[in-house]
A and B are shown apart, each in its own frame.
Chain A
Amino acid sequence: MEWLASLLDTLLATLRDVFPIAAVIFGFQLLILRRPIPNLRRTLFGFFYVLLGLSLFLQGLEQALFPLGRLMAEQLTHPEFLADETTGLLQATHWMDYYWVYIFALAIGFSTTVAEPSLIAVAIKANQVSGGAIGVWGLRIAVAIGVAVGISLGTWRIVTGYPLHYFIITGYIFVIFQTFYAPRIIVPLAYDSGGVTTSTVTVPLVAALGLGLAESVPGRSPLLDGFGLIAFASLCPIISVMAYAQISEYRSKRSARKKA
């Protein structure tokens, strides 16, 4: 019963999120464009499925994966876990001692990105538009690798305490250089993939990891150093998606040369 009530809560919350979007769409369609919506029944059913799907998705995450994931982020960053097993003394002062945190960041970044619904949406669209040249899975894996690397780099930054903007600005310079060498067709999609990676699934888990880490590392303040993981997670996929396109272009050129 309790389960049903919380599902209803999630449904209402999702409805509240969707309402402004639906109001804008239907308002413009009826008042400005003044034409009936094509396939109204089908569209409404589609909206209903999106609503239902998102509510079930969020409810399930909240019930199952988030509590465990958050708990894990806390435990992995807890001084007790990092303390030396034989002496029981807290020794985690060297950045290497946090290796499980980096591995966890890598794994959780990759796996949550693969399940991210908005990335699936963009990958489906890119596959349709490119006439199959961009594979749904290729794009998703490329983005997921970017997020994984980004988040573990971000945790390393929190541990070592280097200023965030050095990393981000270096990343920007890298992106700019890469833009001029990457195939033109991938550039807008690569820029987009930075923004789509971080939504429903990734943000809550990653935020918990960042705050937990900033709390437990000596000399870090959660308010000042806990941020920045999402920034990494939106920057690195731009680089990895362009790299993916560059590698596939290079490979197809090489095989074309071999044939000739």
Chain B
Amino acid sequence: MWRSILAFGKSLLDSLRDLAPIILVIAFFQLVVLQQPIPNLAGLLGGTLLVTLGLTFFIYGLNMGLFPIGESMAQAFSQKGSIFWLLLFAFTLGFSTTIAEPALIAVAEEASEVAAEGGMIEASEQAMHSYATGLRLTVAFSVGLAIVIGVMRILKGWPIHYLIIGGYACITIMTAFAPRSIIGIAYDSGGVTTSTITVPLVTALGVGLASSIQGRNPMIDGFGLIAFASLTPMIFVMGYGMII
């Protein structure tokens, strides 16, 4: 009992140390640069306490739930030996986690405003809504596809940099042809798709697969799924902007 309380206290301290830089930065800019008092100090301290507790629980749960299940599923799939189901799982995981991602919803709405202002679509609410929904589906599809490509790469043992460099080349060529207003959003969309729950799960899946297949190194082959998931949305969003 005492031991687990002690362990919890220790991880609480770790989380506090992780958060200390943000608190210092905000305090410095508020007090020294902007020279204003900190508004609602009690609320700020309460919020910081919540953040610290939250981070502690999250890391606890990560090691108990998300990491083990990601790895055990990867092992189960490689024992089952059905590539079709593994790839379908990879696609569904990528698609379903992205379609509901709040950051993506926000970006899609902004993109529809840009498109309406640029005269690419009608400035009516309906046209903007359908544009935003189409964009969300496109990005979710591209993330699903990215995880599929990434899993294929682990299975076949392809070197990652050829695929990534190919992707970069594709983005560079498309940038020349895509409408200028979509480029910023497209580049940003690569970063917003991977959420806090998806990342540990997908990482565990990749590492689990690479360690259960003979001849694969979990360090060299296990990582890289997220890299694909942040690359393909850029290509697909620019493609979407070119077609519509």
Q: Which residues of A contact B (CB under 8 A)?
A: 3, 13, 16-18, 20-21, 23-25, 28-29, 32-33, 35, 37-39, 42-65, 68-69, 72, 75-76, 81, 100, 104, 107-108, 110-112, 114-115, 117-118, 120-122, 124-126, 129-130, 164-165, 168-169, 172, 175-176, 179-180, 184-185, 187-189, 191-192, 194-201, 203, 223-231, 233-234
- A25 CB, nearest partner CB in chain B, Å: 6
- B169 CB, nearest partner CB in chain A, Å: 9
- A192 CB, nearest partner CB in chain B, Å: 4
Q: Mark B226-237, 1 if CB is under 8 A from A, else 0.
A: 110110000000
Judge whether A129 and B190 touch: CB under 8 Å: no
Judge whether B160 and A188 touch: CB under 8 Å: yes
Q: Which residue of A lies closest to B93 (CB)?
A: A24
Give chain A residues whose Cβ lies under 8 Å from the Cβ of B64: 42-43, 45-46, 49
B12-69: which residues lie under 8 A (CB-CB) from chain A?
18-19, 21-22, 24-26, 28-30, 33-34, 38-39, 43-69
Candidate in A47, A81, A112, A120 with the most chain B CB atoms within 10 angstroms: A120
B218 sits at the interface (CB 8 A): yes
Q: CA separation between A43 and B204, bound complex, in Å?
A: 14
Judge whether B43 and A64 touch: CB under 8 Å: yes
B240 sits at the interface (CB 8 A): no
Listed A/B pairs (5) with beta-carbon separation below 8 Å: A20-B100, A33-B76, A189-B219, A192-B223, A231-B187
Q: Which residues of B contact A (CB under 8 A)?
A: 18-19, 21-22, 24-26, 28-30, 33-34, 38-39, 43-69, 72-73, 76-77, 80, 85, 89, 92-93, 96-97, 99-103, 110, 113-114, 117, 160-161, 164-165, 168, 171-172, 175, 180-181, 183-185, 187-188, 190-201, 203-204, 207, 217-227, 229-230
